[in-house]
Structure 1
Amino acid sequence: MTPQLAQSQEELLDLLAEEEEPLTQYTIATFKGTRIVSVHTVETQAEGVMQMLIGHPFGRLNTGWRDLFGLDNATVRLGLDYGITDNLNIGIGRSSYTKIYDSHIKYRFLRQRYGA
């Protein structure tokens, strides 16, 4: 009789049963951009990313051909957003309606996560 080495499945199952520490993962792209229409979302620009924004709300549609269904009354807002860090953004902008300048600072205090 010759000695032989045998391994059982129990050792493999013991390895699988060892619990790993749960990994915390953060939710990304809750929204696909930093704005929806003209309202800010929870998303921020990545660090070092600059974004040029052009917004153009239109006039009333029920004016018909007289105002080309609201196109003649369109106003334009030009904006520039910059990501200082992944959680901190700043931005400036100007609207053609009443010639108003605006600025903002956006900081993401909380992040949605799953896992641990």
Structure 2
Amino acid sequence: MSSLDPYCPDCGAAVARPHTDGCAIARCLYHGGRRLACGSHHRADLELDHACGRDTWTGQWPGEAEAEEFGWWACWDGPGPERGWDYQGQGWVQVPAGTPGAVPDLDRLRTEARWDRDALRWVRRVKH
């Protein structure tokens, strides 16, 4: 499990306290994405016009808990000080839990999970 941070690294909200307006980490509770990127107030389509809600800081980056629960981990295999800045590598690669340097794979949430507005969390997509 990733370590808990007592304060949001962007707005400073304490655990269980709401993020401030303009926080770059706060989620839109309607669709699960970044609240700052939502743009719901700028759309004329009534279906997309929604209140984003007041997301609270949990101590983890949004989606980390679900990625850990689903066993989704990734490591960086690209340019950097470890292998040199000219090393091309593969970028972020999926790895098993326990791999040294692995972090929760948040990219998989968009492709292999869906945002549940009622539960306010990511859930695995049902495969048919």
Structure 1 length-normalised TM: 0.22
* RCO higher in structure (CA 8 A, sep ≥6): 1
Structure richer in strand, relative to its length: 1
Bigger Rg, structure 1 or 2 = 1
